[in-house]
Structure 1
């Protein structure tokens, strides 16, 4: 009788999920790290950049844009003209100067994604190391 009860409890545990229920890993399976197998298998993707306002303080930023999406680059105004304009390497993004900035202490550019690829915007700043903002366009 005790054998029947034990078999019945084991079956009940399997049916209700109390027995672990998941696949048993084999020695051939790679160990998983992180929170899920999907996260472990895929590299981190860049953060969305659409609608963001970036500054030179965002040095090292990498973001993604789809063709047609935009972000904004905002820099301090330069009444003396001694600060160089930002530049872009690659043909995936365009820098478009915004002329009617509401704050006279700022300069702004629209960063527009125009074709798939990677574009790097460089902001030179006097005695500082140039800031680099990378955009991955899809």
Structure 2
């Protein structure tokens, strides 16, 4: 064992025995109870970087001004998404790779709420809501 290895082993043991950042020496650790794994009900989840589509019906997401997400529809769906509200823009993305999808960048441009009606074959359009802060 080299000198560096011994130092690392000593530091690891010291951190383990002292609680490493738990406050005052010998202070008991207390854990904050976790009551859920996601955001509280009614709080929009972060949408930055997400790829959204018809399967995300009912989605409510949050974007900051300047952030983006992606809307992806199957190429066989010929109808266009419908945007209401002025807080986001739907910018068509040229798909040069012929992936079988059509895509739009969802760009947050001003605070507010926008809704996107996403067409689905033989079904009611999916509804996506984006809250821009």
- Whether the TM-score (by the shorter chain) exceeds 0.5 is yes
2:55 to 54, 57, 60: 57
Structure 1: gaps (5+ residues): 1-33
Q: CA deviation at 1:101?
A: 4.5
TM-score (norm 2): 0.67
2:121 is the counterpart of 1:126: yes
Q: Deviations over 1:43-102 (max 9, x none)?
A: 642100000001100000000000000000011003xxx731001100001100001353
Which residue matches 2:67? 69
C-alpha contact (below 8 Å) 2:118/2:127 kept by paired residues? yes
Structure 2: gaps (5+ residues): 1-33
DSSP-derived class of the 1:88 partner:
strand
2:106 to 99, 105, 111: 111
1:96 to 88, 91, 94: 91
Which residue matches 1:25? none
TM-score (norm 1): 0.64
Rounded to whole Å, the distance in 1 between the matches of 2:102 and 2:114 is: 20
Structure number with bigger Rg = 1
C-alpha contact (below 8 Å) 1:61/1:134 kept by paired residues? yes
